[in-house]
Structure 1
Amino acid sequence: MTSPITTEDNSAALQYLQAARKSHSQADLAKHLKFGERQVRRWEKGEQPIPAHVVEELQRLLDFGIDSKPTSDFTFIDLFAGIGGIRLAFEAIGGECVFTSEWDSYAQKTYATNFPSSHAINGDITQIDAEDIPDHDVLLGGFPCQPFSIAGVSKKNALGRAHGFADETQGTLFFDVARIIAKKRPKAFMLENVKNLQSHDKGRTFDVIHRTLRDDLGYNVFFKVIDGAHFVPQHRERIIIVGFRDEVDFDWDKVKLPGKGNVTLGEILHKPKLEAAAKVDGSNYFDYENKKLLSKYTLTDNLWTYLQNYKKKHQAAGNGFGFGMVNEGSVTRTLSARYYKDGSEILVDQGDDKNPRRLTPRECARLMGFPDTFKIPVSDTRAYKQFGNSVVVPVMEAVAKAMRPHICSATLETKPKK
């Protein structure tokens, strides 16, 4: 049993909670505060401190009542959230995020900076009981894919009974997606992963995932590989898996995809006029006084020589390894999380008299479809990793728009947007 919290600060917070409980049930408060009832009980018993943002909401609740907060069209949870790319897309179509899980502390920092008035960010999803997750309409997640272990299952009764997916997916993070869907039964889900998920282990990995979602959990499942080049100047093929609890007429043809190559790199590179309009990064990447990019993004002579020799070595051996040179008219290779090491997959040509350069973190954000209002509060190294691990936001939004009619009721569908 956790020892009770007895600090003065929590004592004051408890007073707000007790006052709110005089007119609202635990269930109502849990729903309003975007936490499970079990968590509210823990606060009431003094087993855990009440977060500051919850205290602020309790104060607001006592002043204005439980129904005073504007309602959203639907709610969703953001699992393996990264820096919030999928969240941006589903907020854009009227959704409200009621729960977030992301284990990386640096990604949490970027996420919290860009969603400051949100709920607390939960850490490792494997340590969170599905009962403590708020009810929601849509489950979202770009889950990592580890090898599936069929043997040696230690938690066959994780859902209270022997269950097919518990046998086949235990030990993988997909298991946590499945157990939450099984417990909370959302109207829909949207999962994102690398294109090769379909071919991993000769297709057996994807077969387990598909059967789990369709047969064990009973959802209508649709999947498609979409290239980010429909929206941004980057070839980035990712599989999108969409599922609905009820029978729906979802159709991938309703996901509106512009033609590939319509957007080229020149539209997202730093330019004096463009930066004058943005100016969200201070002087981190661009020298406003001299109207030029900071020199640290140009490769050193040693690194450029190494990359050229590396490419020649592999070309001589008949391999295709090497750097990827791009210009303003290009559509780039896939941005990876290792971009911080040498930038070799996407090097911007600066002419014969100058070494090529890396993209800046802001250009990487644009390459992934993030708006210039998205803040980058971490180091370049961390930013490169975060954007390399993220999603192409407009791809997610196109899928979200096609899903929306099947998530929202007819009444909500005609409700004016906030």
Structure 2
Amino acid sequence: MTTAIDLFAGLGGWSTGARAAGVEVLWAANHWPVAVEWHAANHPDTQHICQDLHQARWEQVPAHDILLASPCCQGHSKARGQANGNPQHDSSRSTAWAVVSALEFHRPGAALVENVPEFSDWALYPAWVAAVTALGYQVAPHILDCADLGVPQHRVRLFLVLTRSKAPLMLELHRRQHVPAASFLDFSAGKWSPIDRPGRALATLNRVRNGRDRFGDQFIMPYYGKGSGLTGRDMNRPIGTITTLDRWALVRGDEMRMLSASEALAAQSFPADTLRPKSHKLTMHMAGNAVPPLAGQRVIEALMAAA
């Protein structure tokens, strides 16, 4: 059986996708105890470690065929700011070097690295690619909208395919039919509140009014942000990007509520039986940082088909 390890494993998007693709995830790591706890709950047969991967003991990690990794993206994302000199963001960007260290020790046949597209704008990205290349890997960047892989969410991400091949390996990824947000939204559930209440921001009321004009009494909208934030969003198309914070609101007549944690996980294509914290805030944080499992599965399957 094909085997893998999962760096920066989080809630387990890569691991869940790998399992669906028939890959055994031997080992998973994250620096956050809560993430390790819930990854272990969903992947009890995987060996887990809670550790800053800058200090990883790679000789203690089992040999594997595929390295899966999602280094911290906050220092690259436009949404969170990218300025050099911000210690938190500079530290988050440096997590990508753990991938190089792991590759250097184990030399697996392939690696898949997911991040925001701005990762390639990082000042040290050319040096990072040079280091990976020096280890004998070709680097093939793929910028993918996860909606094109069947995830009910527009989520544009960079997937770097690293292979020990003579030329960069561009995967054959067939475009799937888009899955609408209506497939997972439940307007009969949840805790609703009146739209017209004291303290409701004028911008929110304007979004609701514009959404009603376009879509009627039931629709979704960003609670903040640009783009469809001014107009609402058609439920017959995938939802927009799920973030670590509450962003999406459902409107039903004169009431509204925020997207539930279960709906956010469904938008990310996590299975309905995924174990998660009771805390809405914690679940949303982990969901927003995750690789959509279905996207991970499709990419892994394409990699194995090309091997």
Using the TM superposition, give the Cα deviation of residue 268 of structure 1 relative to its aligned residue in structure 2, in angstroms: 1.0
Residue 136 of structure 2 corresponds to residue 218 of structure 1: yes
Structure label with greater radius of gyration: 1
> Contact (CA 8 Å) 1:220, 1:245: kept in 2 or not?
yes
Q: Structure 1 323/99 Cα, relative in aligned 2: closer, same or farther at 3 Å?
A: farther
Aligned to 1:33: none
Classify the secondary structure of the residue corresponding to 1:211: helix
**Aligned CA-pair RMSD:** 3.1
**Quick one: percent identity of the two aligned structures?**
23
Aligned to 2:26: 98
1:266 to 172, 182, 187: 182
> Contact (CA 8 Å) 1:324, 1:347: kept in 2 or not?
no
1:399 to 257, 274, 299: 299
Using the TM superposition, give the Cα deviation of residue 266 of structure 1 relative to its aligned residue in structure 2, in angstroms: 0.6
CA distance in 2: counterparts of 1:110 and 1:298, whole angstroms: 34
Classify the secondary structure of the residue corresponding to 1:403: helix
Aligned to 2:232: 325
Using the TM superposition, give the Cα deviation of residue 329 of structure 1 relative to its aligned residue in structure 2, in angstroms: 2.1
Classify the secondary structure of the residue corresponding to 2:47: coil
CA distance in 1: counterparts of 2:136 and 2:295, whole angstroms: 26
> Contact (CA 8 Å) 1:79, 1:143: kept in 2 or not?
yes
Aligned pair count reads 277
1:182 to 104, 118, 140: 104
Q: Structure 1 251/348 Cα, relative in aligned 2: closer, same or farther at 3 Å?
A: same
- Larger mean CA deviation between 387-396 and 79-88 belongs to 387-396
Aligned to 1:412: none
CA distance in 2: counterparts of 1:186 and 1:180, whole angstroms: 9
Using the TM superposition, give the Cα deviation of residue 136 of structure 1 relative to its aligned residue in structure 2, in angstroms: 1.1
Task: Normalising by structure 2, report the TM-score.
Answer: 0.79
Structure that is richer in helix per residue? 1
Which amino acid is the alignment partner of residue 395 of structure 1? A
> Contact (CA 8 Å) 2:5, 2:64: kept in 1 or not?
yes
Which amino acid is the alignment partner of residue 336 of structure 1? T
CA distance in 1: counterparts of 2:193 and 2:161, whole angstroms: 39
Using the TM superposition, give the Cα deviation of residue 76 of structure 1 relative to its aligned residue in structure 2, in angstroms: 0.9
CA distance in 2: counterparts of 1:187 and 1:297, whole angstroms: 53
Classify the secondary structure of the residue corresponding to 1:349: strand
Residue 296 of structure 2 corresponds to residue 378 of structure 1: no
Which amino acid is the alignment partner of residue 335 of structure 1? I
Residue 198 of structure 2 corresponds to residue 308 of structure 1: no
**1:83-130 alpha-carbon deviations (Å, 9 max, x no partner):** 111011112222111111111122222212211233233322122222
Aligned to 1:111: 39
1:357 to 251, 257, 264: 257
Q: Structure 1 196/311 Cα, relative in aligned 2: closer, same or farther at 3 Å?
A: farther
Query: Mapping of 1:42-57 within 5 angstroms?
Result: none
> Contact (CA 8 Å) 2:72, 2:92: kept in 1 or not?
no
> Contact (CA 8 Å) 2:28, 2:46: kept in 1 or not?
no
Which amino acid is the alignment partner of residue 169 of structure 2? F
1:334 to 221, 241, 247: 241
Q: Structure 1 390/108 Cα, relative in aligned 2: closer, same or farther at 3 Å?
A: same
> Contact (CA 8 Å) 1:327, 1:349: kept in 2 or not?
no
Using the TM superposition, give the Cα deviation of residue 240 of structure 1 relative to its aligned residue in structure 2, in angstroms: 0.2
Classify the secondary structure of the residue corresponding to 1:375: coil
> Contact (CA 8 Å) 1:325, 1:348: kept in 2 or not?
no
Structure that is richer in strand per residue? 2
Aligned to 2:60: 132
Structure 2 unaligned blocks of 5 or more: 77-81, 85-90, 209-224
CA distance in 2: counterparts of 1:402 and 1:244, whole angstroms: 13
Query: Mapping of 1:17-166 within 5 angstroms?
Result: 73-145=1-73, 146=75
Using the TM superposition, give the Cα deviation of residue 265 of structure 1 relative to its aligned residue in structure 2, in angstroms: 0.9
CA distance in 2: counterparts of 1:182 and 1:392, whole angstroms: 27
CA distance in 2: counterparts of 1:324 and 1:359, whole angstroms: 17
Using the TM superposition, give the Cα deviation of residue 257 of structure 1 relative to its aligned residue in structure 2, in angstroms: 2.2
